[in-house]
Amino acid sequence: MPLSPESDHPLSVPGVVEPLPPRERVGHQLSGHLPCARCRYELRGLSIASNCPECGLPIGVTILAVVDPYAKELQPIARPLLTFAGLMLWASGAMAVAFLMWAMHLGSMVYSMFSITVIPSWWPPAICIATLLSGLGAAVLIRPHANIPRRQILAAAAATAAFLPLAWLHWDLFSNTANGLGFDYFSSRVDSERVAVRLLCGLLGVLITIGLRPNARVLVSRSLVLRTGRMDRQTMYALAAAFGVGVVGDAIQLASGGLRPVSMDVLRSIGVALSVLSAFLCTLGLVSIFVDTWRLRRAVLSEPLDLDQLIDPPKPEGSDEPRRA
Ligand SMILES: [Zn+2]
């Protein structure tokens, strides 16, 4: 049975049963453009029950790999290129902010140990500009296509707007730091104002991530690869939780200010540990989102392929009116 969905072939899609051609279509020929999934040989005109004449891969395996069973349910994206560019700007801007912050921390450590200034003066404004660019890119998530629920549009719009105060807070944190951040990971006292600003940044991080998540998931759901479980990692909840850990850490540090010295030191150490953990987790989360966004490119840039487009005569333009899922 060449069309078995449980095929052990490395190119078959595990768990996808729906795109199997119905029995009455088994004798049909491929009328659409379909390169073999293994060797790219053009399979047009062959029976869907046969094998690739070049490499012997069952044509059913190629169909399983490329046909999206939900193609008709998915809304068309009006400006795919703009949408994908915005997503990449959003993800890479946020990742750039994280890396620049790490670089500033390292520069700060170098200064405190060797009194050598290694932080270029353009880094603090670069952090703010990268924050703003990330927010500009996030705007494509407000309404990526038609038929998005109103509350999801509002949530994504609020999250996008929250990048403005975030950029301003980042400027507040980093602008007066010619030689060091004054970040208190290695000092013995809490700079309350600084920690409070950082706490607000963390809160905005949580709100932005949660606000953008529903519409990001809408785009993720277009990807056959992601939907079939090969890539669903709940990256954005993990990122929101990572920001949350930092918020808790900063809150503990702020609270430790009013305590007796011994309990204060213990509490402050816990707070600092949580802040550092949060910084690591947030960086990991932002890198994961960058990777996931890049892997979405095919799902966003090209229309999902429907089985009818492959084995029936092409329909006239405009006949496949978008339906509400
Ligand atoms: Zn082949």
If asked whether residues 189 and 56 sit together in one domain, one would say no
> What is the pLDDT at residue 3?
44
- Of 82 and 185, the structure prediction assigns the larger pLDDT to 82
> What is the pLDDT at residue 53?
92
If asked whether residues 275 and 131 sit together in one domain, one would say yes
Structural tokens at position 163: 């990048």
If asked whether residues 295 and 309 sit together in one domain, one would say no
Cα 59 to averaged position of ligand 1 atoms, centre (Å): 8
Mean pLDDT over 105-117 rounds to 82
Integer CA distances (angstroms), 48 to 62, 171, 261, in order: 10, 60, 76
Residue 244, domain extent: 80-301
If asked whether residues 130 and 67 sit together in one domain, one would say no
If asked whether residues 14 and 140 sit together in one domain, one would say no
- Tens of pLDDT, residues 241-250: 999 999 999 9
Count of beta carbons in the 10 Å neighbourhood of residue 13: 21
Cα 297 to averaged position of ligand 1 atoms, centre (Å): 25
- Of 3 and 235, the structure prediction assigns the larger pLDDT to 235
Confidence class of residue 313 from pLDDT cuts 50, 70 and 90? low
Contact 235, 268 (CB under 8 A): no
Percent of the chain beyond pLDDT 90?
Answer: 39
If asked whether residues 38 and 87 sit together in one domain, one would say no
Cα 44 to averaged position of ligand 1 atoms, centre (Å): 12
Give the relative orientation of helices 192-220 and 150-161 as an angle to the nearest 10 degrees. 140
CA–CA distance, 189 with 320 (Å, rounded to integer): 65
CA–CA distance, 108 with 118 (Å, rounded to integer): 8
Cα 30 to averaged position of ligand 1 atoms, centre (Å): 14
Structural tokens at position 20: 């199997």
Task: Let me know how long the chain is.
Answer: 325
The total number of structural domains that make up the chain: 2
> What is the pLDDT at residue 191?
76
- Tens of pLDDT, residues 152-181: 999 999 999 999 999 999 998 888 665 555
Q: Which residue has the tokens 């953008």?
A: 212
Cα 313 to averaged position of ligand 1 atoms, centre (Å): 23
Taken in order 117, 120, 121, 127, is the CA torsion positive or negative?
negative
> What is the pLDDT at residue 5?
42
Least confident residue range of 38-47, 61-70, 78-87, 225-234: 225-234
- Of 72 and 125, the structure prediction assigns the larger pLDDT to 125
CA–CA distance, 106 with 272 (Å, rounded to integer): 16
Confidence class of residue 314 from pLDDT cuts 50, 70 and 90? very low
> What is the pLDDT at residue 75?
79
If asked whether residues 59 and 134 sit together in one domain, one would say no
Cα 261 to averaged position of ligand 1 atoms, centre (Å): 72
Percent of the chain beyond pLDDT 70?
Answer: 78
Confidence class of residue 119 from pLDDT cuts 50, 70 and 90? confident
User: What percent of the chain is helix, strand and coil (3-state, nearest 5)?
Assistant: 60, 0, 40
If asked whether residues 91 and 63 sit together in one domain, one would say no
If asked whether residues 308 and 184 sit together in one domain, one would say no
- Of 201 and 192, the structure prediction assigns the larger pLDDT to 201
Cα 120 to averaged position of ligand 1 atoms, centre (Å): 54
Highest mean pLDDT among 1-5, 48-52, 63-67, 223-227: 48-52
Count of beta carbons in the 10 Å neighbourhood of residue 225: 16
> What is the pLDDT at residue 24?
47
If asked whether residues 70 and 84 sit together in one domain, one would say no
Cα 183 to averaged position of ligand 1 atoms, centre (Å): 58
Cα 62 to averaged position of ligand 1 atoms, centre (Å): 9
Cα 43 to averaged position of ligand 1 atoms, centre (Å): 8
Cα 70 to averaged position of ligand 1 atoms, centre (Å): 25
Mean pLDDT over 105-131 rounds to 86
Cα 61 to averaged position of ligand 1 atoms, centre (Å): 10
- Tens of pLDDT, residues 9-45: 444 455 544 444 444 455 578 888 888 888 989 988 8
CA–CA distance, 131 with 305 (Å, rounded to integer): 36
> What is the pLDDT at residue 168?
96
Contact 23, 55 (CB under 8 A): no
Confidence class of residue 299 from pLDDT cuts 50, 70 and 90? confident
If asked whether residues 292 and 315 sit together in one domain, one would say no
If asked whether residues 129 and 174 sit together in one domain, one would say yes
Contact 208, 147 (CB under 8 A): no
